[in-house]
Chains A and B, each alone.
Chain A
Amino acid sequence: MVKYIFKRLGSMVVILLIVSLFIFSIVYLIPGDAATAVLGMEASAEDIANFTARMGLDQPLWVQYGRWLGGILTGDFGDSIFMRRPVLEAIGEHLPPTVSLAIFAQLIALFLSLPAGIVAAYKKNTALDKGVLFFTLLGTVFPSFLLALFLMLFFSVQLMWFPVAGYSRLENGLWEHLRFLFLPALSLGIAQSALITRMTRASLLEVLHTSYIKTARAKGLREGKVVMKHALKNAGLPIITTIGQSFSVLITGAVVIESLFAIPGIGRLILNSISRRDLPIIQGIVLVVTVFYVVINIIIDLLYGAIDPRVRLDKE
């Protein structure tokens, strides 16, 4: 197990190196040269020359890359051009709202989708099943920002139960924190739950037809145990994969929802940075998000091994 984790971390380094190459080349992929892109068309030749020298853009590519990579390895992601502060500091400040929102939204999604998926699979082809399927379809096609607007209108404007928008830091109290995050988390959670519900239903349906489920019933176990113990654990792998994917989507920042609810998260930061051509921030965010992705995937793989003994992680 430990050996496996180290092996995965080793491959993570390789992935990050490759990704870092792409991120680094962002500077050269945008049309025109980086200095003009950042400073604007009206910048004087002197300004551009200064900027180029300051950012080291006149050095050979491999020197630039080496310098940038060396900086990252020592925790120096460079400075934001617009905010004039270290990139890591800016990202660190915008990360907590996004992480909170992602976790909250994921919990809501699980709370809705797992019971719905299990019931739908067990009561296959009944009105209940069809109802669940209808709602998952609705959840898939209904844009989450539209749902967010409806929720806002109903819960904030009409009932005045929740604030319309804004964010309260966790340090100011959990209750306030959750109150501000509830509507955005609900909009995201409902959208994410649709997929997880469908996956849970499909995966469980497949398992419910197996022989070992028949064995479980032949043993005289009650239906609750047959489904929740024998079937669900076997149906677990695809469900966990979907949950992992959905969490990856959430953690990378829900750009639209964060903007809509004025939450100062990663999504907002990247949106603003793109419009300001703040390249160091964009590069930093992409790198951080990549790390999240890879780590989530490692966790999912470890869970596979924990759930299914046939998945041997230590073996070659």
Chain B
Amino acid sequence: MEQPTALLELKDFKVHFHASHEKTTVVKGVNLKIQPGEILGLVGESGCGKSVMSQSLMRLLEYSADVSYEGNILFDGQDILRMNPQELRKVRGNEIAMIFQDPMVSLNPVFTIGNQIEEVLKEHTRLSKKERKSRVLELLGLMEISEPARVSKQYPHELSGGMQQRAMIAIALACEPKLLIADEPTTALDVTTQAQIMKLLQKLNLELGMAILFITHDLGLVYESCHRAEVMYLGQTVESAPGRDLFELPKHPYTKGLAASIPSLTGARKEKLPVIPGIVPSLKENLGGCAFAKRCPYATEKCFQQIPPVFSIGEGRAIKCHYDIDQGVSLL
């Protein structure tokens, strides 16, 4: 975390939605860094703001909703929030690319795969038509698609879910971006395809040195593929740790809860799978203390009254909690 040259750095980043004179803050001051070539996992349950955050990194929300931002999104030292539309277009698809949850609805149904990949190249490069065509085939090959020429002439509905997601990744990688934002890229796919897509993403990360912001609700995927991970709860990051540690040695009570609620295939069969009690509070609720206090089994008086700061707890780890539960000590 101490490295000075982060590829992407969020500084106290907030996203507000405005609807009928009411302001709802969905992302409540996130600080995080992604280093070049790193796979950073962003974990959280539905409604924690991880999708909103990932989409606002390229400012994709402002077309369909009335949003405003606070803080900074520094990409290569440049603040994305202060870019004009032209500068923003040069970053999108070129330096930062994005893939989404459901490839079926993320690919335009009325254009061929080849056309949709070529379009990015046409926008951001000066390649000739012939060079673009061969680059399309090369990209599809890189995605381990066996018949690139045939697939490039096909329409999205003619492909399987896994192939569609490969085509999406090909679009994203067309201009060799420095950062790929993958918003639950495997959630809509079956387990076997999911494994293949994850392998492919890891391979591309290694071979192209491209950083990946991997958004998921699946701690297992984080364990397998992420260098580092941030856990998000109610619009804030509550824990930050190396990918494996997060799963094996969760520190924050919320992460502990998440890890405990994963069913295990080996080991003794428990009577009942532990769950985190309660539901995610409404974003509109004004919480005086820790956002998780209401559902936290370890919560004390203090947790309801004071918002915990972020404590660094060594080995590149940090939590937003008053206590180190494992040691049974207050961090202050």
Asked whether B119 is an interface residue with its Cβ less than 8 Å from the other chain, the reply is yes
Q: Give the CA-CA distance A230 to B89 in the complex, in Å.
A: 16
Query: B92 and A219: CB pair below 8 A?
Result: yes
A3 within 8 A of B: no
Which residues of A in the span 109-132 have a Cβ within 8 Å of any Cβ on B? none
- The size of the chain A interface, using a CB distance under 8 A, is 22
A218 contacts B155, C-beta separation under 8 Å = no
Q: Evaluate contact between A308 and B110: CB separation under 8 angstroms.
A: yes
Residue A54 at the chain B interface, CB threshold 8 Å:
no
Tell me whether A234 and B157 are in contact in the complex, defined as CB-CB below 8 angstroms, given that A217-B92, A218-B93, A220-B89 are known contacts.
no
**Among B64, B89, B120, B155, contact of A222 (Cβ-Cβ < 8 Å):** B89
B interface, size bucket: 20 to 34
Q: A215 an interface residue at 8 Å Cβ cutoff?
A: yes
A223 to B93, alpha carbons, bound, how many Å?
Answer: 14
Contact between B119 and A221, CB atoms less than 8 A apart: yes
CB–CB A307/B63 < 8 A: no
Contact of A219 among B55, B64, B102, B123 (CB under 8 A): B123
Instruction: Check if A161 is an interface residue, CB within 8 A of chain B.
Output: no
- Main SS of the interface on chain B? mixed
List of A residues within 8 angstroms of B105 by Cβ: 210-212
B110 A219 Cβ-Cβ under 8 A: no
B101: nearest chain-A partner, CB-CB: A211
A310 proximity list for chain B (CB < 8 A): 109, 155, 157
Q: Does B107 contact A (CB under 8 A)?
A: yes
A220 lies within 8 A of B109 (CB): no
Q: Are B92 and A218 in contact (CB under 8 A)?
A: yes
A residues within 8 A CB of B98? 215, 218
Contacting residues, chain B, for A60 (C-beta < 8 A):
none
- Shortest 8 CB-CB contacts between residues of A and residues of B: A220-B93, A220-B92, A219-B93, A212-B108, A309-B155, A211-B105, A211-B106, A218-B98
Add 14 more A-B contacts to A216-B108, A218-B93 (CB < 8 A). Answer: A212-B106, A212-B108, A214-B55, A215-B100, A219-B119, A219-B120, A220-B123, A221-B93, A221-B119, A223-B85, A230-B111, A308-B110, A309-B157, A310-B155
24 A-B residue pairs with CB within 8 Å: A208-B63, A210-B105, A212-B105, A212-B109, A215-B98, A215-B106, A217-B60, A218-B58, A218-B60, A218-B93, A219-B92, A219-B97, A219-B123, A220-B90, A220-B93, A220-B120, A221-B119, A230-B108, A230-B111, A234-B108, A234-B109, A307-B110, A308-B109, A309-B157
